[in-house]
């Protein structure tokens, strides 16, 4: 902003006021309009007076547009619904900054001169914004329905996979997890096919990890010391272990079957621990009674 050429006796020029704030002279500010009115501000001790003059702001020299960028690179839209895209040109004061909008398949989607997109029929189209030969594009998917709950299901299923991978100490699925997390960055702009394909991949990885957990649990149960337990307890352990091994040997064992078998084996170890503690507590009480009788 320039200094004011006017002068007022006994007053000091303090800057320019556009009605909202005061701008200091001899400093640079970004101005978004080529014609603005500023008021000169003068100060004397505790008193302030104003004197109006007009400052014409000359925009920087025009330069050719070097880049066009869209705020989104992907949109999922229901038929007959509308949404809008915002395009930004660089530099801001570039010449020929008028944006031309186009779509490669107008039977799927339409776009008007303001970047407003309307879904016409199920399918995929590409919307492009162009200025001075520079352009950027956005993929538009038009669908019958947007599955909001599908994204939540995918998030839950992915977290299950991450928990299992951490539990069994493997990083074999890090790349797969990263790929799906990248997909989830699209927010609600997810296709039903993408959700289903991702969940199928996760289910396959989950089955592999649960199979691994079942194998480890069976190995652990095989080495349990059953000495000192009642015949009924020993038989119950052996039955559960045998059922788990049947599931283990099945090539087409479902995730549900493996989960049930896997849940029972750690339960057996917990049951044995509880029985063992009860036996020790009974032995302790018997020893105390015997000692009292001796005394």
The tens digit of pLDDT for each residue in 3-51 reads 666 666 777 777 777 777 777 776 666 666 556 677 777 777 555 555 5
DSSP three-state, residue 22: strand
Q: List all residues 6 or more positions away from 128 whose beta carbon is below 8 Å from its beta carbon.
A: 101, 102, 103, 104, 135, 136, 137, 138
Which pTM was predicted? 0.51
Q: Which domains does the chain have, with CATH numbers?
A: 12-53 (no CATH), 63-143 (2.60.40.1080), 148-280 (no CATH)
Peptide bond into 292 cis (omega under 30): no
- 100-103 sheet: strands from edge to edge: 74-78, 134-143, 123-131, 100-103
DSSP three-state, residue 198: helix
Give residue-wise pLDDT tens across range 215-256. 888 887 777 777 777 788 778 778 888 888 898 888 888 888
Q: How far apart are CA 274 and CA 103, in angstroms?
A: 70
Q: What does the block give as tokens for 287?
A: 């020893």
């Amino acid at each position: 902003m320039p200094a004011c050429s006017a002068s007022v006796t006994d007053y000091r020029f303090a800057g320019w006021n556009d009605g909202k704030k005061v701008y200091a002279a001899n400093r640079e500010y970004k101005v978004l309009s080529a014609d603005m009115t500023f008021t000169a501000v003068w100060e004397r001790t505790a008193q302030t007076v104003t004197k109006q003059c007009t400052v014409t702001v000359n925009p920087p020299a025009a330069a050719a547009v070097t880049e066009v960028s869209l705020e989104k690179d992907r949109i999922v839209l229901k038929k007959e619904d509308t949404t809008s895209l915002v395009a930004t040109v660089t530099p801001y004061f570039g010449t020929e900054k008028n944006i031309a909008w186009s779509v490669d398949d107008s039977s799927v989607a339409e776009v008007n001169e303001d970047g407003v997109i309307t879904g016409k029929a199920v399918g995929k189209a590409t919307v492009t914004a162009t200025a001075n030969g520079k352009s950027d594009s956005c993929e538009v998917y038009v669908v019958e329905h947007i599955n909001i709950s599908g994204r939540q299901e995918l998030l839950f299923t992915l977290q299950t996979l991450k928990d299992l991978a951490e539990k069994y100490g493997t990083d074999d699925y890090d790349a797969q997890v990263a790929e799906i997390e990248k997909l989830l960055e699209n927010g609600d702009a997810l296709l039903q096919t993408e959700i289903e394909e991702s969940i199928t991949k996760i289910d396959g990885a989950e089955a592999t990890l649960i199979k691994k957990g079942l194998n480890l649990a069976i190995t652990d149960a095989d080495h349990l010391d059953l000495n000192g337990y009642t015949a009924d307890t020993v038989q119950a352990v052996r039955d559960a272990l045998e059922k788990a091994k049947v599931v283990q040997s099945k090539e087409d064992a479902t995730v549900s079957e493996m989960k049930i078998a896997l849940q029972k084996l750690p339960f057996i170890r917990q049951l044995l621990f509880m029985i063992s503690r009860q036996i020790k507590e009974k032995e302790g009480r018997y020893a105390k009674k015997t000692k009292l009788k001796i005394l």
